[in-house]
Structure 1
Amino acid sequence: MKRLLTGLLLTLFWSNVAAAECRLNRLDVRNEQAQVRFVVELAVTPQERSQGLMFRESMPQRSGMLFIFDPPQPVAFWMKNTLIPLDMIFVDKTGLVTRVHKGAVPGDLTPIEGGDSVFAVLEINAGLAARYSIEPGTVMRHEFFSQGPAIWPC
C-alpha cells in the first residue's frame, strides 16, 4: 500500500512539473548554444494578428508575441505602425525554426516573408535572436506545438 501511495504521489508530482513547464504565456527556445524562456502574448485570431505589436513604445526583455496560423500557410509581415525594432522568427508546426529575420525596422512597409508553410511567428526585441543564437534549426516548446508532432513536446 505504501509503494502504491508513493507511486501515485510521484506520478502526480511529475505530471504537475510537466504541466508547469508549458503555459500559454510561456515559450521556451533551445539550441546548442542556449536555452531561454520568453513570456509571450498570443495572437491567434485574425484581429489579434493584424494588431500585433503596433503602437507599442517598448517591450520588456525576454517578452514577445506569438502569432499562430492554423493551418500552416504562407505569411508575410510588415512594420506599419510598429514603433520598436523586432526580430521575427518563423516556425513550423513541430516547433522547428525555419527562418529568422533580424532587425525589422520600425515603420518599414517592405513585406517580410516567412515561407510557404508557417505555423507560428515569434516577434521579440531586435538583437535577441543573435544574443541567443536563434537560427533555423533551433526548436521551441509551447502548448501550440505540442498539439501535433512536436520536436520538443510539453
Structure 2
Amino acid sequence: MKFSSLLLILIVTLSGVANAECRPDRVDLKNGQAQVRFNIELARTPQERSRGLMFRENLPARSGMLFVFDPPQRVAFWMKNTLIPLDMIFTDRTGLVTHVHEGAIPGDPTPIEGGDSVFAVLEVNAGLSSRYGIRPGTWVRHEIFSLGPAIWPC
C-alpha cells in the first residue's frame, strides 16, 4: 500500500514538472521520429502577424515565430519582404500539425495556403521540418493550445 501511494505522489510530482516546462517563449514538437524545442516569438495581433519575420537577415538556429489565429480560420502566407527561406508548420486548435510547407522562397509573393481551420503557424528556418520529420500528425506543445482540448497539454 505504501509503495502505490509513493508511486502516485511521484507521478503527480513529475507531471507537474513536465507541465512546468511550458513557457510562452518556446514550443516543443514531437512525433515518432523526434522531439525538438524551438525558442519563439509570438505574433498574436494583426500588426504582429502582418510584420512576421519580414526584413530580418537571419533567424537563429532552433528559433522561430508562432502566429496565432483565434478563432481558427483560413490562412495564407507570402514571403514578400522576407529575406530568409522558411518552413511553415500549420496546426489546428489542439496543436496537431495539419500541413507543412517546406522551403518558402524569400521575396516570393505567391500565397502559401495553410488550410481552412488554422489556429497557429510556426515559421522556422527552411530544412528543419525535414531534418526533424515534422509532418502532418506531429504534435506541438505551447500554452496557447492549453485553452482548447489539448492532447499534449502544458
2:79 maps to what in 1?
79
Q: Distance in 2 between matches of 1:39 and 1:21?
A: 13
Aligned partner letter, 1:29: L
CA 1:15 to 1:35, structure 2 compared with 1: closer, same or farther past 3 Å? closer
Q: CA deviation at 1:98?
A: 0.2
1:3 maps to what in 2?
none
Matched, 1:113 2:117: no
Aligned partner letter, 2:105: V
> What is the DSSP-based 3-state SS (H/G/I as helix, E as strand, rest coil) of the residue aligned with 2:143?
coil
Q: CA deviation at 1:105?
A: 0.2
CA 1:15 to 1:98, structure 2 compared with 1: closer, same or farther past 3 Å? closer
1:38 maps to what in 2?
38
Listed as ranges, the matches of 1:45-60 within 5 Å are 45-60=45-60
Q: CA deviation at 1:10?
A: 6.7
Q: 1:39-87: CA deviations, max 9, x gaps?
A: 0000000000000000000011110000000000000000010000000
Given the two structures, how large is their TM-score scaled by the length of structure 1? 0.90
> What is the DSSP-based 3-state SS (H/G/I as helix, E as strand, rest coil) of the residue aligned with 1:144?
helix
Matched, 1:140 2:133: no
Listed as ranges, the matches of 1:80-95 within 5 Å are 80-95=80-95
Gaps of 5+ in 1: 1-5
Q: Distance in 2 between matches of 1:149 and 1:60?
A: 32
Gaps of 5+ in 2: 1-5
Given the two structures, how large is their TM-score scaled by the length of structure 2? 0.90
> What is the DSSP-based 3-state SS (H/G/I as helix, E as strand, rest coil) of the residue aligned with 2:59?
coil
Aligned partner letter, 1:83: L
Q: Distance in 2 between matches of 1:94 and 1:22?
A: 15
Matched, 1:22 2:22: yes
Q: CA deviation at 1:18?
A: 3.4
Q: Distance in 2 between matches of 1:152 and 1:94?
A: 8
2:149 maps to what in 1?
149
Q: Distance in 1 between matches of 2:33 and 2:18?
A: 23
Q: 1:13-48: CA deviations, max 9, x gaps?
A: 547523431000010000000000000000000000
